[in-house]
A and B are shown apart, each in its own frame.
Chain A
Amino acid sequence: MLLSCSSLSVTYGRRKALNAFDLSLRKGEIRALVGPNGSGKSTALQTLAGLIKPAEGMVEIDCRPIGSMSRRQLARHLAFLPQQPSAPDEMTVEQLVRQGRFAHVGLFRNYGIEDEEAIRWALESTGLAGFDNRSLSELSGGERQRAWISAALAQEAQILLLDEPTSFLDIGYQIEILDLVYRLSREKGVTVVMSIHDLNQAMSISDHISLLERGELIFDGEPKQLADSGLIEKVFRVKGNFVQIAPNAPPHFDVELARRTALTA
């Protein structure tokens, strides 16, 4: 599935949150969206998911504007993990993940074997196999995050939009989710766009990186080029440098904890 958008602009009231945003992904590509807080990552993802109507520009899947699709059609192609979703308290993990099948069963059809299998697979892939009957209100933040990822996976869409999928997870699950995303893209050709704050994870998992600053797309290219551009230090106002650890791996950003010396002084 090809996902693309051109000169996308989004305004909230009078504030421009996204300006002339371009993106073009080929099938199976992993794209990381990075940028400081409030730079427009979530806005971009929500617009790609068809949840925000852009003031200008449009989003296309396989050259079809998403505005011309029904919600369900769109949900069969594209699954979206919001940054901080909320669910009804009394809902269980299994019930949440089951909602991911709505795009397939619709309002009337009953759940079939393939639906149950997708649910099971989604639960297992996120390490939630024993949690299906727990209610969401009694989960830890990371467990809840995985339940939502699981719901998005159950949708079995060819495009995955993930807004900070790893933000509440311990390092073990962060890697597990990233591995899963990687496998989905390489084995099933799933196209992924995700916002992520850990630069090194972004560099190592993605094929391309988009860097946003105050709603402007200021970089779009391969991880290696981002390292060479010197933009990271400027945009995030930190000092550090990229070091090549392994010959074929993307460079590793080593940040100087300059602010710590200021604190102890």
Chain B
Amino acid sequence: MLSVRDLHVYYDGIHALKGISLEVPKGKIVTLIGANGAGKSSTLRAISGLVKNIKGSIVYDGRDIAGQTPVDIVRGGIMMSPEGRKIFPHLSVLDNLMLGAYSRNNKAEIQKDLEWVYEVFPRLKERSGQKGGTLSGGEQQMLALARALMGAPNLILLDEPSLGLAPLLVKNVFDIIQNINEVGKTVLLVEQNAFAALKIAHYAYVLETGSIVLEGTGKDIMQNAKVCEAYLGG
């Protein structure tokens, strides 16, 4: 479904991604783990068309989307839930969700997805008129996930969805990611919480200062001693 080849990302003077390649097969959960500053967000932002200065190819459904505008990429069926959730605190929960559906025009289908999203996240339905900023951290993360789903993506990019959440909520979030995957969404999951991510991922890549240093199935990586010491805290 998504095939990244030799991707480089540059910020003025900083070579943040040094030619990474990765595959995200249809229907799978693939995770990209690594320490802070490794280049995980840069990878997702490059796929979403948010960083301009990139090199390499990003082939999605057979077409190279590198260099396309974010709007085109969203229309093509890729939605991102950015790091730090980035919900709009001054807008209502409903408006936040509608922003996720901004690129779509079929009102009936949007309404149908809204109802589905409200079913998955009943809390959001209760609070649909409330400002996003008044939600708790966990609820904001649910809103960010739901907002991404409102774009009716085939591929969903999640940037550290467990960031700053209490352990119980983290489990909750990962359960939901698995559910999302089971209804047919392909997931590229970026995490610092390697252990939780590896548990649900079909395949994993380990990123270190802009390069992929290790890849394998979630289980393999979890058993790999190197990862244990570097990312799972022994």
Whether both chains belong to one complex is answered with no
B residues neighboring A (CB under 8 Å)? none
Which residues of A pack against B, CB within 8 Å?
A: none
